[in-house]
């Protein structure tokens, strides 16, 4: 073995492998497992399972995902382009099955899964990877034509139906997919103004959400309950029983954490006050147990991860590799920012998980696949002598 | 493959910086929440986590004079649901509806309400509670609790009273002595999770509950039971609407028995005894209130001839009449323009005062009343305590309904003299008669003897006011003699017992309006006649057929005396 490796080394130039990113992935995953254990053990026991039930499940999938990641990272990323067509077909089929047929499995009143009750996965996670892959392939193929309106329309025709199917299933994944496409297009295109304008509209929408929503209700564009969500967001303490419950419980957790936190495992809000604390609201438990110190650390680690993505994308051998990494980078950034924004009540409540840390098998598996792709791009970077 | 351009790299950098700025914004928000709002949210969280749980205090028992328990506590269950723990709401609703016999809508509303704990029903039988627990439904809690229990069901129901859903007294002694019986609930202050489950090892503050005091009352279960039996017998035999019996110690006012047949079941106080129709819940409540009434003290009636005891005592005390004064009865007496009849149509002819009393002759007592005059009579009426209340330790005692002194003419005086045209409670009559025969001591009738805590660290013996000198000892002795003669040879003959000296007076009061021809037959008796230790009054409301007090009421008292006098050691 050593001999053949040595031979290869002579023939091929020295390759880069981003061990910093690998370490960050391992750290976040293990930290996530610890936090899942801390936040879920009480509820698991109440429901008659062992305290480590959720942690074990997540751990097995993360381990399998890690192996998959390592394998993928050793494959030349150009090979992935061959799966573009297949992944689009599978994505459409899965989304149609989960949205419109009885095959979709409902858990906690949300019909988001395919498979059986025991072995099931969320097709929306697959769609995220698909969108990254497809856009990277298409943009690379188009070359300079990407700046033409015709190409934009074509990409819209390719992505929007899928995004719509996902949005029907759950709004937050739809937002993430649109966000990924937005970022990838922003980087690929020479034009700036359409993106700046879109960002400006979003910022306005964010700042003037309440008056806009009220106007929309008046002309019948929005339903009363949607306006209610906005009202809850603006003042959760006024709605402690109804819509504001989860957010308010999250704020209690964050606020009571203080600077240094109550200590690992000492959260009280996880004792069923926060429903399913191992899911979307796990960041609130991190804040409660580890304090501002822990929360800042987690955010900085994510920022470091994104920094690594930036480096890999900037040094990628070609545009396709760079776009793959940019897609993943967009995915992770959007999800981290939106999740923490929801938990801290900066934006209205939508169910977005925190990558690597929140409980969710499909999510961690596809994240590992994405990481594999990024590592694979990093592995194609030739180090100069 | 297309070339990888500089503008790509630049835009990647821009994206990274935007991400970094957004994250910095989130850090800012986190810092604000966790430093400046920390205190606010910590306080709100603590309020949410700390839970005060009450530990119900056991209500004090009520025991009779011999220590027999007549009101105690039994374990019952409180069924509640914990919203967050309910897994199968439909099954829960279905089971609770079936087992607790509640409407679907009612249960559904409570099960689906998002609260930490919602009580579905209290005071559920332990058997039902155990059955519900047996289903093993997640989120359904069955907590054991105390409920008032009356071992003798309906015995002295209107005296004892019962308790409501929160174990608070509603009528009778239960409400009168609420402050002694209630006890002090304890509390546990704990940290708990959202399901109300206490957090282990969390510091808890605990305040132990203090059980209510045991209340000893003067009732005697044996006497009460015997009197009730006698009351029910005569009620059935005479088809009467109601029968009341009061048995009291005339020397100190301790009540041995108070019967108000028909009684109701204290363990099921919201079920009507009589099968009366009712439309609305308000009508039902009115019927229930009627059923719970204690006729001995809540209702007044015209006492009729038993009141002649008072007229006689007033006459003797004032010295306007003596035992051997002679009267004549032609069967009526004309007062001013009114002709007032004697119950004996032909008249009693010539008779002494004593004979007049034995015959219960109305004209004799009209004469005594007229001799006293309105002023003097009213003075004695007041002196005997008839204008006030007896002060018995039961809620809702009715006041006397009497003519105003200014409106009282000779005709009114004449009717009052033999117990008509005014109303008093049976309890008032017994109390006044007691003070006349016991040597002139106006005693306060009562039930409560003492209240004590279980560990005897708290003991309170109740004392009641006694007003002496209501009548002279001499008058009292004369009255005892007269009333003994009434039973020995007069209208109260049927109350006589060979081995005892019994005094008494019969009465037959015509209910208002007189045209209905409805009566209340009554008899007031005491024994031994020379040194009264027990006094009893029976009132039979609306007997069918023969209605003379001497015929139907006197034998009942004789029967009761025959049994309780040996029991009391007299």
CB pairs under 8 A between A and B: 147
Q: What percent of chain B is predicted at pLDDT more than 70?
A: 95
Q: How close A1 comes to chain B (CA, Å)?
A: 34
Q: What percent of chain A is predicted at pLDDT more than 90?
A: 46
The answer to whether B1 contacts A287, with C-beta atoms less than 8 Å apart, is no
Length of chain B: 570
Would you say residue B336 has pLDDT above 80? yes
- For A25, list phi and psi in degrees, rounded to 5: -60, -45
Q: Between A111 and B384, where is the model more confident?
A: B384
The answer to whether A273 contacts B29, with C-beta atoms less than 8 Å apart, is no
Q: Does A91 touch chain B (CB under 8 A)?
A: no
DSSP state letter for B4:
-
**Pair type for strands B214-217 and B62-63:** parallel
A300-348, pLDDT tens digit by residue?
Answer: 999 999 999 999 999 998 899 999 999 999 999 999 999 999 999 998 8
- Which tokens is A1 given? 């073995």
Q: From the CB of residue B287, how many other CB atoms can be counted at a distance below 10 Å?
A: 16
Q: Does A90 touch chain B (CB under 8 A)?
A: no
The answer to whether A337 contacts B22, with C-beta atoms less than 8 Å apart, is yes
pTM: 0.59
Please report, for residues B149, B375, B454, the alpha-carbon distance to residue B60 in angstroms, rounded to integers and kept in the order given: 11, 49, 9
The H-assigned helical ranges of A104-223 are 123-142, 149-169, 171-188, 193-207, 209-218
Q: Does A346 touch chain B (CB under 8 A)?
A: yes
Q: Which residues of A touch B3 (CB under 8 A)?
A: 319
Would you say residue A13 has pLDDT above 80? no
The answer to whether B191 contacts A268, with C-beta atoms less than 8 Å apart, is yes
Please report, for residues A99, B313, B439, B466, B526, the alpha-carbon distance to residue B252 in angstroms, rounded to integers and kept in the order given: 87, 20, 12, 8, 14
Q: Which residues of B touch A253 (CB under 8 A)?
A: 45
User: Beta partners for B169?
Assistant: B163
Q: Which residues of A touch B44 (CB under 8 A)?
A: 252, 255
What pLDDT is attached to residue B201?
55
What pLDDT is attached to residue B97?
86
Please name the residues between 159 and 198 in chain A that touch chain B, using a CB distance below 8 Å.
Answer: 183, 186-188, 190
Q: Does A255 touch chain B (CB under 8 A)?
A: yes
Q: Which residues of B touch A271 (CB under 8 A)?
A: 192-194, 197, 199
Q: How close A72 comes to chain B (CA, Å)?
A: 22
Cα separation, B19 vs A336, in Å, equals 10
What pLDDT is attached to residue A1?
39
Q: Does A296 touch chain B (CB under 8 A)?
A: yes
**Packed helices B6-31 and A171-188: angle between N→C axes, nearest 10 degrees:** 140
Select from B22, B30, B199 the Cβ nearest to the Cβ of A271: B199
Q: Does A151 touch chain B (CB under 8 A)?
A: no
What pLDDT is attached to residue B371?
93
Q: Between A278 and B279, where is the model more confident?
A: A278
Mutate to test the interface with A, among B1, B19, B38 (most CBs of A within 10 A): B19
Most confident range, picked from A146-160, A188-202, B473-487: B473-487
Select from B5, B20, B35 the Cβ nearest to the Cβ of A259: B35
Select from A143, A256, A306 the Cβ nearest to the Cβ of B16: A306
Q: Between A1 and B350, where is the model more confident?
A: B350
Helix/strand/coil percentages in chain A, nearest 5: 70, 5, 25
Q: Which residues of B touch A188 (CB under 8 A)?
A: 8
Q: How close B52 comes to chain A (CA, Å)?
A: 17
DSSP state letter for B304:
G
Residue of A nearest to B38 (CA): A255
Would you say residue B2 has pLDDT above 70? no
Q: Which residues of B touch A273 (CB under 8 A)?
A: 48-49, 193-194
Q: Between A111 and B223, where is the model more confident?
A: B223
A91-104, pLDDT tens digit by residue?
Answer: 999 998 888 877 77
Cα separation, B231 vs B212, in Å, equals 33
Contacts of B303 (CB under 8 A, 6+ apart): B419, B424, B429, B507, B509, B522
Please name the residues between 8 and 37 in chain A that touch chain B, using a CB distance below 8 Å.
Answer: none
Cα separation, B553 vs B540, in Å, equals 7
Cα separation, A378 vs A365, in Å, equals 20
Would you say residue B373 has pLDDT above 70? yes
What pLDDT is attached to residue B442?
94
B410-449, pLDDT tens digit by residue?
Answer: 999 999 999 999 999 999 999 999 999 999 999 999 999 9
Q: Which residues of B touch A183 (CB under 8 A)?
A: 15
Q: Does A299 touch chain B (CB under 8 A)?
A: yes
The answer to whether A292 contacts B9, with C-beta atoms less than 8 Å apart, is no
The answer to whether A292 contacts B23, with C-beta atoms less than 8 Å apart, is no
Q: Which residues of A touch B15 (CB under 8 A)?
A: 183, 186-187, 310, 326, 329-330, 333
What pLDDT is attached to residue B190?
66
Buried b (16+ CB within 10 A) or exposed e, B157-186: bbbbbbbeeebebebbbbbbbbebbbbeee
Cα separation, A99 vs A111, in Å, equals 8
Residue of B nearest to A292 (CA): B34
- Contact B529/B501 with Cβ under 8 angstroms? yes
Complex prediction ipTM? 0.91
Candidates B154, B305, B417, B476; catalytic one: B305
Would you say residue A63 has pLDDT above 90? yes
Q: Which residues of B touch A311 (CB under 8 A)?
A: none
Q: Is B305 a residue of the active site? A: yes
Residue of B nearest to A332 (CA): B19
Please report, for residues A22, A138, A316, A373, B487, the alpha-carbon distance to residue A378 in angstroms, rounded to integers and kept in the order given: 11, 21, 7, 9, 122
Q: Between A195 and B47, where is the model more confident?
A: A195
What pLDDT is attached to residue A143?
83
Q: Which residues of B touch A318 (CB under 8 A)?
A: 1-2, 4
Would you say residue A5 has pLDDT above 70? no
What pLDDT is attached to residue B85?
74
Cα separation, A284 vs A246, in Å, equals 11
The answer to whether A271 contacts B15, with C-beta atoms less than 8 Å apart, is no
- Contact B466/B476 with Cβ under 8 angstroms? no
Would you say residue A2 has pLDDT above 50? no
Select from B22, B34, B46 the Cβ nearest to the Cβ of A292: B34
The answer to whether A291 contacts B199, with C-beta atoms less than 8 Å apart, is no
User: Beta partners for B521?
Assistant: B508, B540
- Contact A345/A233 with Cβ under 8 angstroms? yes
What pLDDT is attached to residue A274?
81
Select from A140, A251, A299 the Cβ nearest to the Cβ of B26: A299
């Amino acid at each position: 073995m050593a001999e053949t490796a040595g031979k290869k080394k002579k023939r091929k130039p020295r390759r880069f492998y981003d061990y910093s990113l690998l370490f960050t992935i391992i750290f976040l995953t293990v930290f996530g497992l610890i936090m899942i254990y801390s936040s879920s053990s009480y509820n698991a026991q109440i429901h008659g399972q062992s305290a480590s039930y959720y942690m074990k499940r997540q751990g097995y999938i993360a381990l399998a995902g890690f192996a998959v990641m390592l394998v993928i990272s050793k494959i030349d990323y150009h090979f992935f382009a061959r799966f573009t067509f297949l992944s689009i077909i599978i994505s459409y089929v899965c989304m149609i099955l989960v949205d419109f047929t009885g095959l979709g499995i409902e858990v906690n009143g949300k019909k988001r899964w395919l498979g059986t009750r025991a072995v099931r996965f969320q097709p929306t996670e697959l769609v995220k990877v698909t969108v990254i892959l497809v856009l990277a392939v298409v943009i690379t193929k188009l070359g300079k034509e990407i700046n033409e309106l015709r190409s934009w329309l074509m990409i819209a025709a390719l992505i929007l139906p899928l995004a719509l199917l996902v949005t029907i299933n759950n709004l937050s994944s739809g937002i993430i997919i649109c966000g990924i496409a937005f970022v990838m297009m922003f980087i690929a295109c020479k034009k700036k103004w359409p993106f700046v304008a879109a960002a400006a509209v979003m910022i306005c929408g964010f700042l003037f959400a309440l008056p806009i929503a009220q106007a929309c209700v008046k002309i019948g564009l929005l339903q009363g309950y949607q306006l209610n969500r906005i009202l809850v967001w603006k003042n959760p303490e006024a709605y402690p029983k109804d819509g504001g419950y989860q957010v308010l419980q999250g704020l209690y957790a964050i606020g009571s954490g203080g600077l240094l936190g109550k200590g690992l495992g000492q959260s009280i809000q996880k004792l069923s006050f926060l429903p399913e604390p191992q899911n979307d609201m796990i960041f609130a438990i991190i804040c409660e147990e580890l304090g501002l110190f822990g929360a800042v650390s987690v955010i900085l680690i994510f920022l470091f991860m994104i920094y690594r993505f930036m480096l890999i994308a900037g040094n990628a051998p070609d545009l396709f590799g760079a776009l793959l990494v940019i897609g993943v980078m967009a995915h992770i950034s959007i999800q981290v920012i939106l999740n923490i924004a929801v938990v801290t009540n900066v934006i209205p409540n939508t169910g977005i998980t925190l990558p690597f840390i929140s409980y969710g098998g499909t999510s961690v598996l596809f994240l590992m696949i994405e990481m594999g792709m990024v590592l694979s791009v990093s592995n194609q970077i030739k180090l100069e002598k | 493959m297309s070339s990888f351009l500089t503008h790509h790299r630049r835009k990647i950098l821009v994206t990274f910086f935007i991400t970094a700025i957004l994250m910095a914004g989130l850090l800012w928000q986190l810092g604000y929440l966790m430093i400046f709002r920390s205190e606010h949210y910590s306080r709100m969280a603590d309020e949410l986590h700390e839970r005060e749980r009450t530990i119900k205090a056991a209500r004090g028992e009520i025991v009779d004079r011999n220590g027999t328990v007549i009101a105690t506590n039994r374990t019952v269950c409180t069924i509640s649901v914990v919203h967050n723990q309910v897994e199968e709401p439909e099954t829960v609703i279905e089971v609770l509806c079936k087992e607790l016999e509640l409407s679907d809508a009612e249960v559904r509303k409570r099960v689906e309400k998002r609260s930490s704990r919602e009580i579905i029903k209290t005071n559920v039988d332990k058997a039902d509670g155990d059955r519900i627990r047996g289903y093993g439904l997640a989120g359904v809690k069955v907590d054991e609790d105390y409920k008032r229990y009356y071992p003798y069901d309906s015995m002295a129901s209107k005296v004892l009273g019962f308790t409501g859903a929160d174990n608070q007294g509603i009528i009778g002694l239960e409400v009168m002595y609420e402050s002694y019986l209630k006890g002090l609930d304890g509390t546990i202050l704990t940290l708990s999770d959202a399901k109300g489950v206490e957090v282990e090892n969390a510091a808890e503050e605990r305040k132990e509950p203090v059980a209510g005091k045991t209340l000893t009352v003067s009732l005697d279960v044996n006497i009460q039971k015997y009197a009730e039996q006698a009351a029910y017998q005569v009620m059935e035999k005479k088809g009467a609407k109601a029968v009341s019996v009061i048995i009291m110690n005339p020397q100190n006012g301790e009540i041995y028995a108070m019967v108000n047949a028909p009684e109701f079941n204290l363990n099921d106080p919201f079920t009507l005894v009589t099968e009366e129709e009712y439309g609305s819940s308000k009508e039902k409540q009115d019927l229930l209130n009627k059923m719970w009434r204690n006729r001995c003290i809540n209702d007044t009636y015209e006492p009729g001839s038993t009141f002649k005891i008072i007229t006689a005592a007033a006459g003797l005390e004032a010295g306007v009449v003596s035992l051997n004064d002679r009267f004549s009865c032609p069967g009526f007496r004309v007062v001013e323009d009114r002709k007032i009849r004697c119950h004996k149509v032909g008249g009693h002819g010539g008779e002494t005062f004593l004979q007049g009393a034995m015959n219960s002759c109305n004209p004799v007592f009209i004469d005594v009343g007229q001799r006293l005059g309105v002023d003097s009579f009213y003075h004695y009426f007041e002196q005997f305590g008839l204008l006030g209340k007896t002060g018995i330790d039961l809620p809702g005692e009715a006041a006397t309904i009497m003519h105003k002194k200014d409106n009282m003419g000779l005709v009114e005086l004449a009717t009052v003299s033999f117990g008509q045209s005014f109303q008093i409670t049976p309890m008032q009559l017994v109390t006044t008669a007691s003070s006349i025969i016991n040597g002139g001591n106006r005693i306060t009738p009562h039930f409560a003897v003492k209240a004590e805590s279980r560990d005897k660290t708290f003991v309170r013996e109740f004392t009641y006011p006694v007003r002496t000198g209501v009548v002279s000892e001499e008058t009292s002795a004369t009255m005892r003699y007269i009333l003994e003669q009434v039973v020995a040879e007069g209208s109260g003959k049927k109350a006589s017992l060979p081995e005892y000296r019994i005094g008494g007076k019969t009465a037959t009061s015509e209910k208002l309006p007189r045209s209905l021809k409805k009566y209340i037959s009554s008899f007031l008796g005491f024994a031994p006649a020379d040194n009264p230790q027990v006094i009893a009054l029976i009132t039979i409301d609306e007997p069918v057929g023969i209605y003379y007090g001497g015929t139907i009421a006197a034998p009942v008292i004789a029967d009761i005396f025959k049994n309780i006098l040996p029991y009391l050691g007299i």
